[in-house]
Structure 1
Amino acid sequence: MKKLNLLLLGGTGLIGTEVLKSILFYPEIQKTIVWARNAPSSDNKAPIEIQSVTWESFSRGEVKFPKGIDAVICCLGTTIKKAGSQEKFREVDYDYPLLAGKKAKEAGVKSFLIVTAMGADANSMIFYNRVKGEIERELTAIGFPYLGIFRPSLLLGDRKEVRMGEKVGEVLGALLPFSLFGLKKYKPIYADFVARSMIKTAIAKSDTTTIGSSAIVEILENDQMLDFGKNI
């Protein structure tokens, strides 16, 4: 099996941070380039190259897409509250991933994997879900040999900021027997489960995707990631 070269987008977020932590355990990964406005720290144990890149410079063509990338793992995302407006939210969750997707396809990248959200639907009346659905639709239209869409439920993990909704979700996740009621799809999920699911999928698809092959679009729902991400 060929060792993979990855590009990680959103390495400072909750899931992106977990991707960086987990990469060390996968010898199939040869190198990971991380693009981040505020470059995360690295312990230098993993083959990780941190690059400080702004999306403004990338969109102006001042930063070129790196050569030799086999798969992109896109963990870009924010909230309307943090972004400050719907326009800024859309910029981070739609404009940036779409730009990266187009440039990745031009560079011959075979696999593109992105985190969206449960309930993503381009026709949704809910702005958040609609934007997530729109980016899924546009990336699908690009025609990657493999497009992996990951739709987690409420995310749990060690964030820098405290989100009350996630604290409530963590308590409910511990107390409620979701599996007994057929509601596993809605159970809160830890970010490291999502991260490992993305890495494992990138590795698994590396031998099955070739340039010019029929496009494969795979959606992994929350319950699938709960099972897939259990082990390193």
Structure 2
Amino acid sequence: MTEKTAIVFGASGLIGSNLVRHLLANESYHKVTVLVRRSLGIEHAKLDEHLVDFANTNALNTLIRGDDAFSCLGTTHKKAGSREAFQAVDFTLVHTLAQIARGNGVTHLLLVSSLGANPGSRSAYLRTKGEVEQAVADLGFPRTSIFRPSLLIGERNEYRLKESLAAAILSPLGLFLLGPLKRYRPIAAEQVAKAMIEVAAHPAEGLAIYQNEEIAAL
């Protein structure tokens, strides 16, 4: 089995932190490179952690090298402070890092998006997610995998009132969301992380989009 290098963007987030933990335990990867603003506080022989300024793209260019790039970056309008600041993270930064990865020969981009992502959506959030999906797909990676989870469940480093309330309401109702409504069931961030690694483990080519129910099935 050929050992690979994984690169994780958004390693301190809800999905990213679970992803790093499982990648470090996965024998298919001999190195896990993470680019973060603050240290994760993890010590592991396979972890290659870099504290970076994401505005310095020249410095990033030397670090983003490997096989599979897992992009888990994301924020909210409230946390970002403005629509422009949200766009700077969820579109510009995601796209810039993907561009660098493509230029450095990364063969597989795995992107966390959102259920309902659509460049034509009235929702600024879902529109941005749809636009960045389209933009990274246009970069022409040999393989692009896009994941569209529903509401995420898990322990966050920060408290998000709206998401906490939604999870408290929807989680008990998940089993009653059947048929077309099944896609709206909340999903554990750890499930998404495991699904991404499962997809990366099986060779394929081209673009694939995994909806919430497909992620849960993986």
1:186 aligns with 2:180: no
Per the alignment, do residues 28 and 176 of structure 1 end up closer, same or farther by CA in structure 2, a change over 3 Å counting?
Answer: closer
The equivalent position to 2:172 in structure 1, one of 167, 171, 174, is: 174
Contact 1:35 1:51 in 2 (8 A): yes
Contact 2:150 2:187 in 1 (8 A): yes
Give the number of equivalent residue pairs: 217
Gaps of 5+ in 2: none
Per the alignment, do residues 106 and 168 of structure 1 end up closer, same or farther by CA in structure 2, a change over 3 Å counting?
Answer: same
SS of the residue aligned with 1:91?
helix
Contact 1:169 1:188 in 2 (8 A): no
Q: What is the CA–CA distance in structure 1 between the aligned matches of 2:175 and 2:129, rounded to whole Å?
A: 28
Which amino acid in 1 is paired with 2:207?
Answer: V
Per the alignment, do residues 65 and 183 of structure 1 end up closer, same or farther by CA in structure 2, a change over 3 Å counting?
Answer: farther
1:222 aligns with 2:212: yes
TM-score norm. by structure 1 comes to: 0.88
Residue equivalent to 1:31:
31
1:54 aligns with 2:44: no
Contact 1:16 1:195 in 2 (8 A): yes
Which amino acid in 2 is paired with 1:100?
Answer: L
TM-score norm. by structure 2 comes to: 0.93
Identity %: 34
The equivalent position to 1:83 in structure 2, one of 80, 85, 97, is: 80
Gaps of 5+ in 1: 210-215
Tell me the CA shift for residue 179 of structure 1: 5.0
Q: CA RMSD in A?
A: 1.6
Q: What is the CA–CA distance in structure 2 between the aligned matches of 1:179 and 1:18, rounded to whole Å?
A: 26
Residue equivalent to 2:101:
104
Q: What is the CA–CA distance in structure 2 between the aligned matches of 1:27 and 1:88, rounded to whole Å?
A: 38
SS of the residue aligned with 2:209?
strand
Contact 1:4 1:203 in 2 (8 A): no
SS of the residue aligned with 2:138?
helix
Question: Which runs of structure 2 are paired with 1:53-202 in the superposition (5 Å)?
Answer: 53-58=52-57, 61-66=58-63, 68-171=65-168, 172-178=170-176, 180-202=178-200
